[in-house]
């Protein structure tokens, strides 16, 4: 049984997280977030000045949670090749847990316009952080391989969401490990 959260700010964030990730940002109305979080409208605006600020909070929290999960998977390995394989295992695991819903950041990106500069900046920061994370694992590998692995990783996320299947992750994992 899920524990009821008493903090309205946290309930709003958790509710928005679920709704934005599963339904999309534009398909989720602020009234639905308020109702499902079980808070008063005034509580929303006390903690978040707008729907966009709630979206930004979701993206920041998602980044933290996602990168911590990736870190836990890769920390189990000691060699770069094993760490990269473990990073792809993390994707495999995420697909199972999240029913192939894909990357929260890319899903939101598909809903943005040129005017959504704050949202775009957070999405870009997440991807830069992921690229740097993989790059640190591969710091001693030959030049250029870091970007190849990053692009394989990203394509595995997108293609596994598209096909609702693990084969893109498995194939990208084989290719990435093969590069090492």
**pLDDT band at 173; cut points 50, 70, 90:** very high
Cα→Cα distances 172→89, 136, 143, 156, 167, Å: 11, 19, 19, 6, 8
pLDDT at res. 4: 62
* Greatest extent of the chain over all pairs of C-alpha atoms, in Å: 56
The residues of the chain that CATH labels 1.10.357.10 are: 51-179
pLDDT over 90 percentage in the chain: 93
Its CATH class, for the domain covering 51-179, is mainly alpha
What CA–CA distance (Å, rounded) separates 159 from 53?
Answer: 30
pLDDT at res. 142: 74
Give per-residue pLDDT as tens, 117-165: 999 999 999 999 999 999 999 998 877 899 999 999 999 999 999 999 9
The residues of the chain that CATH labels 1.10.10.60 are: 1-48
pLDDT at res. 1: 44
H-assigned helices in 38-180: 41-47, 51-75, 80-98, 104-109, 117-137, 145-163, 167-179
Task: Flag whether pLDDT at 3 surpasses 60.
Answer: no
Query: Residue 121 has which token pair?
Result: 């900046």
What CA–CA distance (Å, rounded) separates 82 from 77?
Answer: 6
- Greater pLDDT, 1 or 19: 19
pTM of model > 0.85:
yes
pLDDT at res. 80: 95
pLDDT over 70 percentage in the chain: 97
pLDDT at res. 16: 97
Residue pair 133/164 in contact by the 8 Å Cβ criterion = no
Buried b (16+ CB within 10 A) or exposed e, 79-111: ebbebbbbbbbbbbebbeeeeeebbbbebbeee
The conformational region for residue 102 under phi > 0 = left, psi -120 to 50 = alpha, else beta, is left
1-48 classified as CATH 1.10.10.60: yes
142 CB-contact burial (10 Å; exposed 0-12 / middle 13-18 / buried 19+): exposed
Q: Pick from 136, 162, 159: which is nearest to 70 by CA? A: 136
């Amino acid at each position: 049984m899920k524990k009821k959260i008493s903090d309205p700010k946290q309930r709003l964030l958790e509710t928005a997280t679920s709704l934005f990730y599963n339904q999309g940002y534009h398909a989720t109305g602020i009234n639905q977030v308020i109702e499902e979080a079980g808070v008063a409208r005034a509580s929303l605006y006390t903690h978040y000045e707008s729907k966009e600020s709630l979206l930004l909070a979701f993206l920041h929290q998602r980044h933290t949670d996602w990168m911590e999960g990736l870190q836990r998977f890769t920390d189990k390995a000691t060699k770069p090749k094993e760490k990269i394989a473990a990073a792809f295992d993390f994707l495999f695991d995420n697909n199972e847990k999240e029913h192939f819903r894909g990357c929260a950041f890319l899903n939101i990106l598909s809903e943005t316009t040129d005017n959504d500069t704050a949202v775009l900046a957070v999405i870009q920061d997440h991807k830069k952080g992921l690229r740097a994370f993989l790059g640190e694992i591969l710091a001693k590998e030959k030049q250029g391989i870091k970007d190849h692995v990053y692009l394989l990783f990203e394509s595995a996320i997108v293609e596994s969401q598209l096909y609702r299947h693990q084969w893109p992750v498995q194939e990208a994992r084989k290719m990435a490990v093969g590069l090492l």
